[in-house]
Amino acid sequence: MGKSITLTDKRSGKVYTLEFNRKAIETMERQGFVPSEITDKPATMLPMLFRGAFIMHHPTVKRDVVDALYDAIPDKTTLIEKLVDMYSEPILSLIGDSEADEGNVEWGANF
Amino acid sequence: MGSELLIEEAPHTKTCTEQFYEVFPFYLSIGMTYDLFWLKDATLVKSFRKAYEMQRERANYDAWLQGAYIYDALCAVSPVLHAFAKKGTKPIPYPKEPYGMTTKNLKQSSEQPAKTEAELREIQALNASAKFASFVTQWNKRFENKGGGVDGGYNRSTTD
């Protein structure tokens, strides 16, 4: 089961499911979304990331509706963290779990 | 030497879309449809990979099992394939049933006696006759090498 976020618009009562599939990622990249530019151009890339999360389940929703939702969302930092996590899922799922090499390499971090 | 990491040029970075298109044929080959890969749950690929692995393991086991049956069949006919097999030698009967695969089948096959007394005696007799034939051949060869004829020297001329 893929990761998803449920968004409820209290004004209209509509419930949106935010999720990424590969087609959504392809569409976003065609529209100019570059994940590595999130830190360089956050004002452009983050709303694009948010809009992209609607492509899978709500492709017909209007852009100004999505932008209004984005503006009204509280705790954007956590939401963006979750969106980035969700965005990377279709890519990471293609990387095999190398069970055969288990134990040959170890790693650790000091943070 | 040893400075590859310092002089290496920036590699061409692939976009996610490029990566998706690169692996897409593989997933098509293992039974994933266009819709499942592009439009549905992105984590489905993991299950498809796992299923593919299981399929390969099963195919490998089937090939091994076929080899085992062929081996059994060869062993069963080996008494009649022997060059010095006695007249009337019969092959050992091929197992009447396939190998048990489920736990129930395995239990049943372990409960059944592997071979009847008569079958065992027949096998022992066949083995003994094969051993004896081999011994006779070796003995004759040795005798020939020492100057004896094929007939054991019975027809040798008495004049010499």
Q: In this structure, is residue A104 part of a structural domain?
A: no
Question: B129 falls in which pLDDT band (50, 70, 90)?
Answer: confident
Report pLDDT for B114: 62
Q: How near does any CA of chain B get to the CA of A26, in Å? A: 5
What ipTM does this complex have? 0.83
When mean pLDDT is compared across A15-19, B60-64, B108-112, the lowest value belongs to B108-112
Report pLDDT for B160: 44
With an 8 Å Cβ cutoff, are B17 and A29 in contact?
A: yes
Q: In this structure, is residue A29 part of a structural domain?
A: yes
Nearest to A30 by CA among B114, B21, B29, B145: B21
Q: Which two tokens stand for residue A23?
A: 């087609």
The tens digit of pLDDT for each residue in A24-52 reads 999 999 999 998 898 889 999 999 999 99
Chain A interface includes B14 (CB < 8 A): no
Q: In this structure, is residue A109 part of a structural domain?
A: no
Number of structural domains found in chain A:
1
Q: In this structure, is residue A99 part of a structural domain?
A: no
Q: In this structure, is residue A57 part of a structural domain?
A: yes
CA distances from B152 to B28, B83, B142, B155 (A): 74, 21, 11, 8
Distance, in Å, from the CA atom of B79 to the CA atom of B131, rounded to the nearest integer, reads: 11
Report pLDDT for A89: 92
Q: In this structure, is residue A108 part of a structural domain?
A: no
Task: Report the residue from B17, B38, B43 with minimal CB separation from A93.
Answer: B43
CA distances from B142 to A65, A68, B11, B16, B135 (A): 102, 104, 75, 78, 11
The tens digit of pLDDT for each residue in B141-152 reads 777 777 655 554
**DSSP assignment letter at B84:** T
Average pLDDT over residues B59-83: 92
A–B interface: beta-carbon pairs under 8 A:
47
The tens digit of pLDDT for each residue in B73-83 reads 999 998 888 88
Report pLDDT for B158: 47
Report pLDDT for B123: 76
Range of the domain at A64: 5-92
Q: Answer yes or no: is pLDDT of B68 > 50.
A: yes
Q: What are phi and psi of A16, to 5 degrees?
A: -115, 140
Chain A interface includes B38 (CB < 8 A): yes
Report pLDDT for A98: 57
With an 8 Å Cβ cutoff, are B42 and A30 in contact?
A: no
Nearest to A94 by CA among B54, B18, B56: B18
Q: Where are any strands of DSSP class E within chain A?
A: 5-8, 15-18
Q: Which parts of chain A sit beneath pLDDT 70?
A: 97-102
Backbone torsion region of residue A8, taken as left when φ is above 0, otherwise alpha when ψ lies between -120 and 50, otherwise beta: beta
Residues from chain B contacting residue A91 (CB–CB below 8 Å): 16, 19
The 3-state secondary structure of B85-152, one letter per residue = CCCCCCCCCCCCCCCCCCHHHHHHHHHCCCCCHHHHHHHHHHHHHHHHHHHHHHHHHHHHHCCCCCCC
Q: Answer yes or no: is pLDDT of B159 > 50.
A: no
Nearest to A28 by CA among A71, A84, A110: A84
Average pLDDT over chain B reads 82
Task: Report the residue from B19, B42, B46 with minimal CB separation from A21.
Answer: B42
Q: Model-level pTM greater than 0.80?
A: no
Q: In this structure, is residue A30 part of a structural domain?
A: yes
Report pLDDT for A57: 95
Task: Report the residue from B15, B23, B43 with minimal CB separation from A89.
Answer: B43
